């Protein structure tokens, strides 16, 4: 009898079925729909085999024509159901859920399907069997052919229409699946003895299972938890279908870098177990050392999360501690992108417990706006450099100026660096920004006017964090060469709003620049950000006392003593001193008496654009042009 291919197909589908049932499942819409399609395929194959057997029995041995007809009808109804499930599987993740037209399309497809199934059941069917050819015919079968064709074509068209919002792999898998179906139907049409349809649909299921529903992508091999891919699919699904959720995330920090690999793995496995023990909710491993559990509501999350075994100051006996991130309501964020941005940003924070609320999400949005502001300013050349001249006490002139970056907004207003430098340091935009500032400074110096009016050196700020991304020596030397600027005209001020992670690398890079004739200052001294390491171990020539420290000098006797002592120490170490934040004349006198080399402050000048600096230098350095 002509059922070999269907039996093979049944075996394949049964294998997928067993594997699918055995794996840990996540409540994902696509997985549910895949399961429906798999069941339809399974049922269809059983009735395919049954109908071939019964048709043969009915034609050759007089078996009941009524039962045979019913089985034949059930087979073609299941075949159509399979096509319908395929269409629903393909379209549900693609069509928008909130658009009226999409709802109409969905309702219509269900109505057509149900009407078709009823028609197939009530309309007459015939069947025939000779040699190896077995087939059914009649109005009922015709409805099945038409509907199946409609579903296959709709699936292909929907897939093609939404190809841009689909990962390439999904697109290929969907088209391959539907293409195989079409090919099998065409072959079966011309050669009815080849009952290929059942086998083709089983083959399609194999493609979908391996390419799209592959469990290895969703399960982390070493912990058995769900992976970041699973989390991404789950979160997208929840946002798409408007289902809110709460999330508890834990990141393990090993207290020292050299923790033994086995101890690390042990901590990870134990954390994974602790999370699984927290309840039936799905637990994910989203990074080597970061885990999360998703809950349907925040009450459940708070209740379960309070049971977490990991303590703030150690994972039991392991030298590690945790950072906890709680998201009580996913709808605080406006979609998966913002949700993951939030996760990414706040998991890196130093706080032990971060709880998402409106304020924090708004802060994230603000940061994002600042990032966009920087990107736009860079691409539209709205990054400007202002200069603040310093007074050289020994030479009684203004021969140094600090370059201070600003962003000019489209409406002409200026954004001060305090708003965007910390964001740029975190996002890495400090690299293009720093390069742009340096190029502008070189361009300015290359014109020669500032030097003609007595300017000897420009101090350019460079964040310690810049050394984490690249070697600044490269662009510094490149631009000096390109614009023909003497290295001695540049002094780099190291600012440490974000600490450098690799001090050795930083030191090598600094030494390379010093060899070329560039000098370094330590900025922000006295703010608590400037590390003692810098002036003891780093090749620093100038110390800049931050204006908060200078202010303290005039208001607080203790700070006055500290500052006086520090000035003495730095002078003994052959370093020069710049005091910042000098705003009134009396302060100038005091600082001169203290023996500082340079005075910077609003008393002399605020940071000003190039042309104003040139006028300032010319007037105050008494240069006759």
Q: Which residues in the 525-564 window bind Mg ion by CB under 5 A?
A: 544
The residue behind tokens 């560039």 is 518
Candidate list 463, 491, 509, 530; residue touching ligand C2E; CB under 6 A: 463
Site membership for ligand C2E, residue 584 (CB under 6 A): no
Candidate list 212, 600, 613, 616; residue touching ligand C2E; CB under 6 A: 600
Q: Give the C-alpha separation, 82 to 184, whole Å.
A: 15
- Under 8 Å CB-to-CB from 77, ≥6 apart: which residues? 117, 120, 121, 144
Applying CB under 6 A, which part among 83-91, 162-170, 376-384, 459-467 lies near ligand C2E? Answer: 459-467
- Closer to Mg ion at the Cβ: 281 or 523? 523
Applying CB under 6 A, which part among 153-161, 319-327, 411-419, 556-564 lies near ligand C2E? Answer: 411-419
Q: Give the C-alpha separation, 610 to 449, whole Å.
A: 10
51 token code pair = 């109908």
- Closer to ligand C2E at the Cβ: 72 or 578? 578
- Closer to ligand C2E at the Cβ: 83 or 434? 434
Q: Which residues in the 466-525 window bind ligand C2E by CB under 6 A?
A: 493, 495, 523-524
Site membership for ligand C2E, residue 418 (CB under 6 A): yes
The residue behind tokens 């039936």 is 280
Taking alpha carbons only, the member of 499, 544, 540 closest to residue 524 is 544
Binder of residue 416, out of Mg ion, ligand C2E, none (CB less than 5 to 8 A by kind): ligand C2E
CB of 419 to Mg ion, least distance (A): 16
Candidate list 201, 461, 497, 550; residue touching Mg ion; CB under 5 A: 461
- Under 8 Å CB-to-CB from 499, ≥6 apart: which residues? 464, 465, 531
- Closer to ligand C2E at the Cβ: 356 or 423? 423
CB of 437 to ligand C2E, least distance (A): 4
Total chain residues near Mg ion (CB under 5 A): 5
Applying CB under 6 A, which part among 141-149, 243-251, 292-300, 580-588 lies near ligand C2E? Answer: 580-588
Candidate list 493, 496, 576, 610; residue touching Mg ion; CB under 5 A: 493
Site membership for ligand C2E, residue 137 (CB under 6 A): no
Site membership for ligand C2E, residue 540 (CB under 6 A): no
Candidate list 601, 614, 616, 617; residue touching ligand C2E; CB under 6 A: 601
Site membership for ligand C2E, residue 405 (CB under 6 A): yes
Rounded to 10 degrees, the C-alpha dihedral 462/468/474/480 comes to 0
- Closer to ligand C2E at the Cβ: 260 or 585? 585
CB of 88 to ligand C2E, least distance (A): 54
Residue 138 is given by DSSP the state S
Taking alpha carbons only, the member of 379, 368, 354 closest to residue 423 is 368
CA distances from 455 to 116, 388, 523, 617, 620 (A): 87, 12, 20, 7, 11
Task: Name the helix (H) or strand (E) containing 48.
Answer: helix 29-61
**Crossing angle between the packed helical segments 430-446 and 358-379, to the nearest 10 degrees:** 40
x/- string (CB under 6 A) for ligand C2E, residues 424-443?
Answer: ----------x--x------
- Closer to ligand C2E at the Cβ: 399 or 580? 580
Q: Give the C-alpha separation, 341 to 361, whole Å.
A: 10
Q: Is 424 helix (H, G, I), strand (E, B) or coil?
A: helix
- Closer to ligand C2E at the Cβ: 182 or 378? 378
- Closer to ligand C2E at the Cβ: 271 or 466? 466
CB of 289 to ligand C2E, least distance (A): 30
Site membership for ligand C2E, residue 580 (CB under 6 A): yes
Task: Please classify residue 341 by burial: count the beta carbons closer than 10 Å to its beta carbon, then call 0-12 exposed, 13-18 middle and 19+ buried.
Answer: middle
In this structure, how many other beta carbons lie within 10 angstroms of the beta carbon of residue 254?
17
Q: Which residues in the 333-362 window bind ligand C2E by CB under 6 A?
A: none
Taking alpha carbons only, the member of 332, 349, 351, 222 closest to residue 287 is 222
Site membership for ligand C2E, residue 141 (CB under 6 A): no
Applying CB under 6 A, which part among 228-236, 501-509, 532-540, 575-583 lies near ligand C2E? Answer: 575-583
600 token code pair = 């910077």
Site membership for ligand C2E, residue 581 (CB under 6 A): yes
Candidate list 389, 454, 526, 607; residue touching ligand C2E; CB under 6 A: 607
Report whether 251 contacts 241 (CB < 8 A).
Answer: no
- Closer to Mg ion at the Cβ: 203 or 387? 387
Applying CB under 6 A, which part among 168-176, 364-372, 374-382, 595-603 lies near ligand C2E? Answer: 595-603
Report whether 340 contacts 247 (CB < 8 A).
Answer: no
Q: Which residues in the 379-398 window bind ligand C2E by CB under 6 A?
A: 388
In this structure, how many other beta carbons lie within 10 angstroms of the beta carbon of residue 344?
12
Task: Name the helix (H) or strand (E) containing 95.
Answer: none
CB of 521 to ligand C2E, least distance (A): 9
Report whether 511 contacts 544 (CB < 8 A).
Answer: no
- Closer to ligand C2E at the Cβ: 41 or 596? 596
β-pairing, 383-392 vs 246-254, is: unpaired
- Cα angle 366, 367, 369 (rounded to 5 degrees) comes to 65
CB of 425 to ligand C2E, least distance (A): 7
- Closer to ligand C2E at the Cβ: 83 or 607? 607
- Closer to Mg ion at the Cβ: 213 or 493? 493
Report whether 424 contacts 406 (CB < 8 A).
Answer: no
- Report helix, strand and coil shares of the chain as percent, to nearest 5: 60, 15, 25
Candidate list 425, 523, 576, 597; residue touching Mg ion; CB under 5 A: 523
Site membership for ligand C2E, residue 417 (CB under 6 A): yes
Q: Give the C-alpha separation, 363 to 361, whole Å.
A: 5
β-pairing, 133-137 vs 126-130, is: antiparallel
CA distances from 561 to 148, 429, 552, 568, 589 (A): 89, 40, 10, 11, 17
Residues forming contacts to ligand C2E in the complex (CB under 6 A) are 388, 404-405, 416-418, 421, 434, 437, 461-463, 493, 495, 523-524, 547, 580-583, 600-602, 607
Residues forming contacts to Mg ion in the complex (CB under 5 A) are 461, 493, 523-524, 544
């Amino acid at each position: 009898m002509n059922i070999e291919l269907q039996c093979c197909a049944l075996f394949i589908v049964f294998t997928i079925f067993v594997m699918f049932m055995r794996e840990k499942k996540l409540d994902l819409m696509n997985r549910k729909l895949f399961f429906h399609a798999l069941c339809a395929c399974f049922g269809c194959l059983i009735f395919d085999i049954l109908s071939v057997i019964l048709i043969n029995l009915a034609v050759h041995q007089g078996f009941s024509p009524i039962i045979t007809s019913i089985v034949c009808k059930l087979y073609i109804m299941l075949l159509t159901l399979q096509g319908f499930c395929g269409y629903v599987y393909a379209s549900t993740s693609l069509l928008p859920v909130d658009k009226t037209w999409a709802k109409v399309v969905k309702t219509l497809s269900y109505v057509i399907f149900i009407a078709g199934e009823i028609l197939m059941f009530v309309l007459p069917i015939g069947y025939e069997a000779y040699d190896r050819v077995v087939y059914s015919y009649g109005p009922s079968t015709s409805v099945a052919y038409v509907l199946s064709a409609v579903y296959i074509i709709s699936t292909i068209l929907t897939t093609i229409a939404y190809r841009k919002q689909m990962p390439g792999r999904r697109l290929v898998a969907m088209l391959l699946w539907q293409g195989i179906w079409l090919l099998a139907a065409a072959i079966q049409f011309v050669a009815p003895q080849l009952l290929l349809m059942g086998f083709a649909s089983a083959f399609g299921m194999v493609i979908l299972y391996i390419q799209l529903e592959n469990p290895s992508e969703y399960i982390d091999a070493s912990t058995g938890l769900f992976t970041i891919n699973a989390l991404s699919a789950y979160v997208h699904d929840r946002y798409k279908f408007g289902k809110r959720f709460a999330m508890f995330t834990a990141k393990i920090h090993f207290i020292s870098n050299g923790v033994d690999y086995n101890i690390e793995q042990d901590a990870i496995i134990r954390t994974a177990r602790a999370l699984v023990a927290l309840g039936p909710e799905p637990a994910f491993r989203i990074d080597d050392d970061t885990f999360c559990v998703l809950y349907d509501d925040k009450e459940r999350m708070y209740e379960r999360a309070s049971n977490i075994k990991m303590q703030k100051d150690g994972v039991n006996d392991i030298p590690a501690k945790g950072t906890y991130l709680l998201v009580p309501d996913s709808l605080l964020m406006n979609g998966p992108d913002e949700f993951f941005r939030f996760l990414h940003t706040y998991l890196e924070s130093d706080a032990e417990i971060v709880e998402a609320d409106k304020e924090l999400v708004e802060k994230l949005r603000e940061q994002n706006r600042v990032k966009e502001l920087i990107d736009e300013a860079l691409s539209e050349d709205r990054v400007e450099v202002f200069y603040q001249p310093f007074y050289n006490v020994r030479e009684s002139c203004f021969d140094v100026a600090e370059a201070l970056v600003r962003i000019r907004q489209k409406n002409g207003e200026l954004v001060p660096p305090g708003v965007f430098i910390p964001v740029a340091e975190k996002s890495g935009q400090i690299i293009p920004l720093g390069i742009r500032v340096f190029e502008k400074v070189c361009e300015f110096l290359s014109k020669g006017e500032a030097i003609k009016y007595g300017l000897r050196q420009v101090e350019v700020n460079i964040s310690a964090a810049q050394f984490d991304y690249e070697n600044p020596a490269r662009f510094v030397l490149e631009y000096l060469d390109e614009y023909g600027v003497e290295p001695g005209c540049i002094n780099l001020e190291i600012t440490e709003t974000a600490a450098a992670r690799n001090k050795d690398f930083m030191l090598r890079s600094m030494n390379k620049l010093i060899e070329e004739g560039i000098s370094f200052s330590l900025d922000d001294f006295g703010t608590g950000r400037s590390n003692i390491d810098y002036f003891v171990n780093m090749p620093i020539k100038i110390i800049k006392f931050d204006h908060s420290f200078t202010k303290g000098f005039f208001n607080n006797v203790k700070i006055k003593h500290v500052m006086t002592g520090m000035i003495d120490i730095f002078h003994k170490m052959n370093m020069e001193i710049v005091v910042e934040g000098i705003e009134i004349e009396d302060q100038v006198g005091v600082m001169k008496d203290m023996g500082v080399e340079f005075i910077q402050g609003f008393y002399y000048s605020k940071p000003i654009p190039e042309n104003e600096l040139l006028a300032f230098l010319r007037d105050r350095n008494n240069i006759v042009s």
